[in-house]
Amino acid sequence: MTLLPNDPFELGLLRAIPMLRRFALALTRNTDRAEDLVQDTLLRALDHRAKFTPGTNLDAWLTTICRNTWYHQRRKGWREIPDADGLIAANRTASDDPQAVLEAKQGLDAFHALPDAWRHPMQLHADGMEVTAIAALVGVPDGTIKSRMNRGRAALRAATAAEVR
């Protein structure tokens, strides 16, 4: 049994939900995000109910709230790293030592300066891929991958040793 509210504003919100779902789905192209966006829109509409002028177009007001909420989430989202399970945040440590920060940056710069043939297998191996799988992916023998990774490590050692001096 569904209870319909007596308040015309809340009744208008209920009637607008299917339209908001379609609009949110067109914006997000993802059903879960669209549902979240509709919920956020309805919450904002209820919070700012006093700003709505009765007798005006409620659907237009709601789609404006929905669109602005979506834009806000998109602007906010590009600055955030997705970390739903919290693993990234749990493993991060803030270094108070500027020297450690500088050395880490120099190490990354040295890694990115490696030739692709050395850097790519090292990155895949660091991501947990086995040497045989990397060799199959690249299309070369296992020994070639091992040799490239060894040359890459040697080049990193030489580059970081030169920077320390």
Q: Which CATH architecture has domain 1-78?
A: Orthogonal Bundle (1.10)
pTM score, two decimals? Answer: 0.48
pLDDT of residue 1: 37
Find the mean pLDDT for residues 16-28. Answer: 93
Q: By percentage, how much of the chain surpasses pLDDT 70?
A: 82
Which distant-in-sequence residues (6+ apart) come within 8 Å of 138 by Cβ?
120, 121, 145
The DSSP line for 111-148 is HHHS-HHHHHHHHHHHTT--HHHHHHHHTS-HHHHHHH
Chain region(s) in the chain for CATH 1.10.1740.10: 1-78
pLDDT of residue 13: 94
Q: Is the dihedral of CA 150, 153, 155, 157 positive or negative?
A: negative
Residues 100-138: tens digit of each pLDDT = 778 878 888 888 888 989 988 888 888 888 999 889 888
Which of the four CATH numbers 1.10.10.10, 3.50.50.60, 3.30.70.120, 3.90.1150.10 does domain 95-164 have? 1.10.10.10
Chain region(s) in the chain for CATH 1.10.10.10: 95-164
pLDDT bin (cut points 50, 70, 90) of residue 93 is low
pLDDT bin (cut points 50, 70, 90) of residue 64 is very high
